[in-house]
Amino acid sequence: MATIGVDCEIILDGQGYLVAPGSYRMRQPRVRSATVRADNNEGYRDLGPGKRVWQMVILAINDLTKYDGTPTGLTGQQYRDTLRASYLKVNTTLTYSDPLNSNIQVRFDEYAETVADLRVQQAGPAGGGPMGLSYHCAITLVEA
71, part of any domain: yes
Burial per residue of 42-70, b for 16 or more beta-carbon CB atoms within 10 angstroms, e otherwise: eeeeeeeeeebbbebbbbbbbebeeeeee
The domain total for the chain is 1
What are the φ/ψ torsions at residue 36 (nearest 5 degrees)? -85, 125
127, part of any domain: yes
Please, are residues 19 and 56 in contact by the beta-carbon 8 Å criterion?
yes
1, part of any domain: no
Burial class for 26, CB neighbours closer than 10 Å (0-12, 13-18, 19+): middle
Please, are residues 123 and 116 in contact by the beta-carbon 8 Å criterion?
no
**pLDDT in the model for residue 117:** 73
| Cα atoms in the 13 Å half-sphere on the side-chain side of 38 | 0
5, part of any domain: no
- Domain of 31, CATH number, reads 2.40.30
Give 27-55 pLDDT, tens digit per residue: 999 999 989 999 999 999 999 999 999 99
Give 85-114 pLDDT, tens digit per residue: 999 999 999 999 999 999 999 999 999 999
52, part of any domain: yes
4, part of any domain: no
Whether 65 shows a pLDDT value over 60: the answer reads: yes
Give the residue numbers spanning the domain of 89. Answer: 10-143
| Total-model pTM | 0.86
